[in-house]
Amino acid sequence: MAKVFVVGAQGRMGGLVCDLVDATEGLELAGRYDVANIAELDELAPAVDLVIDFSQPAALPHVAAYVERTGASLVSGTTGLGASDFARLEALGKNARVVWSSNYSLGVAVLRRVAKEAARALDGWEIEIVETHHKMKLDAPSGTAKTIAEQVGEVSGRDVVCHSMRGGTVAGTHEVHYFGTDEEITLTHRAASRQIFVNGAVACGKRLLAVEPGYYTFDDLMF
């Protein structure tokens, strides 16, 4: 039985992760952490097998210190991280199993792959991304939109612009637009609920426990 800590447990995603861990065979929810008690990780001696973090960038120092000290595996879905944060996550991979993704939907992972292939084929076309999320989402553009833009930009050799819209309770919509002369192609992924991200994160965590220490991507573990 693998023991799991969930960080960001009071958030929408974190709460759903706790529920799924509770219901998943082979996993045991051993602790819930958020802003109010995140500092407890600094002094916590017992090691769990897996930490799933859907919190905010401010929690990363506490989470990273715990992983460094205990060797626990880490699934991170925190967005809004900077270059130094990603460097720290990659460094953790030297001695622990670590995966970070801006989006744990299998459908979005396929969208990223298809978007890159389309960019290779559509030489000279303009490419722009439109992402829409609920009005409570803090970061804009979304981490997913940034990731797609970076990957498509590497393939196409050009800067890809991201446009953000916020409103209502939209779980997440990402559109990649390709503009040619007299024609346009649009690739779209729509999330009907946050549960798809939760399912992907927990499935990714179970696979992470079965591999060697290292810094992984969602695609590394799921494809």
Q: How many Å apart are CA 13 and CA 57, to the nearest integer? A: 15
Active site residue 135: no
Which position among 3, 62, 94, 137 bears the catalytic label?
Answer: 137
Instruction: Calculate the dihedral angle through the C-alpha atoms of 32, 38, 42, 44, rounding to the nearest 10 degrees.
Output: -20
Which position among 133, 146, 174, 189 bears the catalytic label?
Answer: 133
Active site residue 146: no
Q: Supply the residues annotated as catalytic.
A: 133, 137
